[in-house]
A = this chain, B = another copy of it.
Amino acid sequence: MIVVTKANIADTVIDEIVAQIEKAGVEAHVSKGTDRTVIGIIGSASPTLAEHLRQMKGVENVVKISKSYKLASRDFHPDDTIIDIKGVKIGGENLVIMGGPCAVENPEQIDEIARLVKAAGGQVLRGGAFKPRTGPYSFQGVGVEGLKMMAEAGEKHGLLTITEVMTPEYVDICAEYADILQVGTRNMQNFDLLRKLGTIKTPVLLKRGFSSTYDEFLNAAEYILAGGNPNVMLCERGIRTFETYTRNTLDLTAVPVLQSLSHLPVISDPSHGTGRRELVEPMCKASVAAGANGLIVEMHTDPDNSATGDGVQSLFPDQFANLLKDLEKLAPLVGKRFDTEKAPADAFLKWNKF
């Protein structure tokens, strides 16, 4: 922590600042500049010392130097975290593809989509059983029954499953049925939920709050890690800006930034990041080229008639399959490995419609 003084203040004022620092049990190093004085604080200061100093006479600014997260930081964990779930590896040079509908609707729907995700080469089936909605009158998901349908479809087709959990009391039941638990963008700072997720070992995909900085994002991950669960993936899903043509502004630079600040895998979500089907494919490719460790993509067999509001950003099965074919060629160019067992080429015959 560094204290910067206002210009041309008296020495007695500097002495008072130093006294306050030393009272807090840490050391002060004073560097007098031409106009201003800079006071470095050595030692582990209490979190409120900065605030106290900021209010003192003669203080212009207090700059924090150390990051507030530790377990999430690459400084203290130089190697990539690789999460191994039933043999599927997430992180490092592995590229993982998660696909599926916005919401689980019924057993037939999720089974058919699971079949197509697998056939295309995906490794994880996504689907919401509980849906966060801006207004109270929108479809809120099919609930626990949806978890079961999804678990069954995943098992049948050899896919891991991921689903969103919205509240601490549902963490256990979701963890019973799903392989990965997703924290949605509106819950990134739902600290009770994060704390609860720290008490289990099920891997968590933490979505960036739609207006959260990288620092806040990594602090949210720190809540889970500090609780004892080391299996966290970070997911960039678009931020809110002044531009409203797209649903969000996908911040792809977050991929290399987060990978440099942290050892955790970084997943990109172009479906929510753009909100428009025709933009999903180019932004998936861009995500992989930027170095993402994986993608989470919405795909639906009948988006025009889906029960939920996100059809407009869902790929058709053919589009999804073609995208994965392209990614297979793209991945090695950026040092990524896309391992998958795929179904025969005729699996998509009936989806040849766009």
Contact = CB atoms under 8 A, between A and B. Distances in A.
Interface of A: 2, 4, 6-7, 29, 31-36, 38, 40-44, 47-48, 50-52, 54-56, 60-61, 63, 65-66, 68-69, 75, 132-139, 166-169, 186-187, 189-192, 195, 210-211, 213-216, 219-220, 222-223, 226-227, 239-246, 249-253, 255-257, 260, 273-274, 277-279, 282-283, 285-291, 303-312, 326, 329-330, 333-334
B242 A246 contact: no
Most B CB within 10 A of own CB, among A2, A52, A137, A290? A290
Contact of A65 (B29, B33, B211): B33
14 contacts: A31-B31, A31-B40, A34-B43, A40-B40, A47-B139, A48-B307, A134-B219, A136-B227, A167-B168, A186-B190, A213-B245, A246-B257, A250-B251, A255-B282
Contacts of A223: 135-136
Contacts of A38: 2, 29, 40, 65
B256 A249 contact: no
Nearest to A226: B136
A240 B249 CA distance: 11
Contacts of A304: 52, 55-56
Nearest to A138: B47
Contacts of A195: 136
Nearest to A194: B136
Contact of A306 (B40, B48, B213, B241): B48
B55 A305 contact: no
A302 B253 CA distance: 25
Contacts of A190: 167, 186-187, 190
A31 B42 contact: yes
Given A2-B38, A40-B38, A242-B211, A134 B55 contact: no
Contacts of A34: 42-44
A285 B249 CA distance: 19
A282 B268 CA distance: 14
A252 B236 CA distance: 14
B136 A189 contact: no
A167 B239 CA distance: 25
A36 to B, nearest CB: 6
A292 to B, nearest CB: 9
B241 A241 contact: yes
B257 A279 contact: yes
Given A2-B63, A242-B242, 13 more contacts: A33-B40, A55-B303, A55-B304, A68-B135, A169-B169, A239-B242, A239-B249, A241-B241, A250-B252, A252-B283, A257-B279, A283-B290, A285-B290
A66 B307 CA distance: 21
Contact of A241 (B41, B132, B239, B289): B239
Contacts of A219: 134-136
B55 A277 contact: yes
Contacts of A250: 251-253
Nearest to A283: B253
Contact of A312 (B55, B133, B189, B226): B55
Closest 3 CB pairs of A and B: A211-B211, A31-B40, A29-B31
A260 B60 CA distance: 12
